[in-house]
Amino acid sequence: FFGVGEEGALGDRWQELIHPEDLKPYTEKFFACLAERKPFHSELRVKRADGEWRWIESHGNPLFSKTGVFLGYIGTSPDITEHKRSYQAIQESEVRYRRLVETASEGIGQFDLEMRIIDVNDRAASLLGYSRAEILGHHLQEFTTPSEILNFRSKLENRKKGVSESYEACLVRKDGSNLWVLISASPLRDNQEKIIGSFVMFTDISERKRAEEELR
Task: List, for residues 69-101, the tens digit of each pLDDT value.
Answer: 999 899 999 999 998 888 888 887 777 777 777
- The pTM of the whole model exceeds 0.75: no
Which secondary-structure segment (H or E) carries 72? strand 70-76
Q: What is the pLDDT of residue 8?
A: 67
Query: CA 23 to CA 213: how far, in whole Å?
Result: 71
DSSP H helices in 11-71: 20-36
Q: What is the pLDDT of residues 47-67, one digit of tens each?
A: 888 889 999 999 999 999 999
Look at residues 98, 96, 91 and name the one whose alpha carbon lies nearest to residue 122. 98
Which secondary-structure segment (H or E) carries 189? strand 178-189
**Contacts of 36 by beta carbon, 8 Å cutoff, 6+ apart:** none
Q: What is the pLDDT of residue 12?
A: 66
Secondary structure of residue 55 in the 3-state scheme? strand
| Least reliable range by pLDDT among 47-61, 85-99, 102-116, 185-199 | 85-99
Label residue 137 left, alpha or beta by phi (over 0 means left) and psi (-120 to 50 means alpha). left
